Amino acid sequence: MSVDTPRRIVLLRHAKADWPQVADHDRPLAERGRQDAPVAGRKLADSGIDFDLAICSTATRTRETWKAAVHELPRRPKTVYEERVYEASPGELIAVLNEVQDDYSDILLIGHNPGMRGLADVLAGSSEGDAQARMSRSGFPTAAIATLSYTGSWKGLEAGTATLLDFWAPHA
């Protein structure tokens, strides 16, 4: 794949989590999360994007979200569970994406707020339009999906280098 070919970065925030008496990393999905995760998976499938790679936080709620969502996709992409995605800042998430090999074109990142919202904002920079307005109104709720486009090597991904193409949330 040429680095001049547009790539897509899709950000999926985990579905709604429960608050049992466990460590934050081990929180499972709540009932609403178990309902919303497959809906988000169908939205991903409907996008027509054939993901090459999914990078998922190691937290229970992100793994459960991915497990429910991936069943809706026509093909399961290579999946990497990355502990650095848990509680990551936008800069830390960019560092993870900078390590992706250039033969991967379309990537799905499953993570947490405030990192996911921050990453969408940082990558898109001054993007305007309907998707940006929808994201601004909703605040990137659970099971929300932001789709960005980027052209270049993954090593060159940085603030302001992507364009926000779409934003969707299950209850917005």
48 falls within a domain: yes
104 falls within a domain: yes
Number of structural domains in the chain: 1
Q: Which residue has the tokens 């919202």?
A: 117
Range of the domain at 160: 6-168
20 falls within a domain: yes
36 falls within a domain: yes
1 falls within a domain: no
pTM of the model: 0.95
CATH of residue 133's domain is: 3.40.50.1240
129 falls within a domain: yes
pLDDT in tens, the chain (172 residues): 566 789 999 999 999 999 999 999 999 999 999 999 999 999 999 999 999 999 999 999 999 999 999 999 999 999 999 999 999 999 999 999 999 999 999 999 999 999 999 999 999 986 677 888 888 888 899 999 999 999 999 999 999 999 999 999 998 7
**Residues of 21-48 as b/e, b for ≥16 C-beta within 10 angstroms?**
eeeeeebbbbebbbebbbbbbebbbebe
